[in-house]
Amino acid sequence: GAVVSQHPSRVICKSGTSVKIECRSLDFQATTMFWYRQFPKQSLMLMATSNEGSKATYEQGVEKDKFLINHASLTLSTLTVTSAHPEDSSFYICSARLTGGYEQYFGPGTRLTVT
């Protein structure tokens, strides 16, 4: 149980385009989901906390207009990287918190490459 999926697993896009990444909790409901970014040999850095039915809470330094987060249901959150640039190339990982709990379950990650 407690499986989180991400789609796509890899995506290559051209500079200036937008790309959407989906995070789904497959067998549980998640009021809260989290989006992390990880650069090579670096730690996971929390970008934003996504709450179902309300606006996401962004960490300091993360541009909310560039990284659009939508958490429309208890099992789905999406991260849209708008007007992508090569420096946005990274590994994006989501996690989902079981409603009423505190444990987070991590997705497999999405490798974004912006050319």
Interaction site with other proteins (CB under 8 A): 6, 34, 41-46, 49, 91, 93, 102, 104, 106-109, 111
CB of 75 to other proteins, least distance (A): 17
Q: Report the residue number, 57 or 80, with the smaller CB distance to other proteins.
A: 57
Buried b (16+ CB within 10 A) or exposed e, 56-95: bebeeebeeeebbbebeebbbbbbebeebeeebbbbbbbb
CB of 87 to other proteins, least distance (A): 19
Q: Report the residue number, 34 or 58, with the smaller CB distance to other proteins.
A: 34
Q: Report the residue number, 57 or 82, with the smaller CB distance to other proteins.
A: 57
Q: Cα 98–102–106 angle (5° rounding)?
A: 60
